[in-house]
Amino acid sequence: MSRETETMNCEQYREAISAEPAFDGGTEHLSACVDCQTFRTEIRALDVRIESALLVDVPELKMPELPDIETVAASDNVVPLASRRSFSKPVWLALAATVLLAALIGIRLPDFGTSYASLEEQVLAHVDREPGAFRVTSTPVSESRLAKAVPAHIAALNHDVGMITYAQSCSINGYPVPHLVIQGERGPITILLMPNESVSEARTFEGENVHGVILPVGSGSIAIIGNREEQLDRVTKKMLDSVNWST
């Protein structure tokens, strides 16, 4: 046990032992308190019975019919979001010209220096650049990683948003943008929290195999992008309920 417990009183000790019956701290208090010794014995005895009660009979394993790998690869659940999307020809030409110009004058384009026709284009381009975010996984990110990606001075996020499987601190137009991914019905759903990007109304957009929406939230906005088949309404509502800007 890592918690320091030598100065515990009865209440603290009982809270600790009933939260973790294996708790072995608080020895100084315990040696002097007969009531807490009794409490510990009772809790540990109770826990043995709780374990027996929880061990319900398990029916024989019935393995479902498992599709072959080729079918799996084509199924909705494992197809990641398309990491490529279509730019229109003029946009490609504009981008190519920008890169060429940058090369000619010998500078490396920083992210916020690239010009985009719209915030939607910029959001899609940003999503394209982080293929690691498209991994289908059931493993949530740790609290510490989430806290780094969504620092308290940018936004507060409650857990109603769902299981977050990717969290990274990114930037758009030079401003920090927490980049999150949750797992949707049709693959990963990307969420960009943009406290400094104001939009006057919800704006929907589409890329190759993906669609998304940029929602006005206070003085900023939130972009949500998912597979074209994904229903984003539920995520949208959850995000609106879950995010509060700190500034």
Interaction site with another protein (CB under 8 A): 14-16, 18-21, 42-43, 46-47, 49-59, 61-64, 66-69, 72, 75, 77-78, 135-140, 142-143, 159, 163, 183
Quick one: 119 or 243, whose CB is closer to another protein? 243
Task: Output the smallest distance, CB 47 to another protein, in A.
Answer: 7
Quick one: 62 or 153, whose CB is closer to another protein? 62
Task: Output the smallest distance, CB 219 to another protein, in A.
Answer: 27
Q: What are phi and psi of 210, to 5 degrees?
A: -130, 155
Q: How far apart, in whole angstroms, are the C-alpha atoms of residue 180 and residue 27?
A: 44
Quick one: 48 or 117, whose CB is closer to another protein? 48
Task: Output the smallest distance, CB 16 to another protein, in A.
Answer: 8
Q: Chain-centre distance of CA 143, in angstroms?
A: 10
Task: Output the smallest distance, CB 26 to another protein, in A.
Answer: 14
Q: What is the DSSP string of 158-203?
A: -GGG--EEEEEEEEETTEEEEEEEEEETTEEEEEEEETT---SS-E
Give the torsion through C-alpha atoms of 72, 76, 79, 84, to 10 deg: 150
Task: Output the smallest distance, CB 201 to another protein, in A.
Answer: 29
Q: How far apart, in whole angstroms, are the C-alpha atoms of residue 175 and residue 223?
A: 15
Quick one: 193 or 214, whose CB is closer to another protein? 193
Q: How far apart, in whole angstroms, are the C-alpha atoms of residue 215 and residue 224?
A: 8
- Residue 81 near residue 225, CB atoms below 8 Å: yes
Quick one: 15 or 208, whose CB is closer to another protein? 15
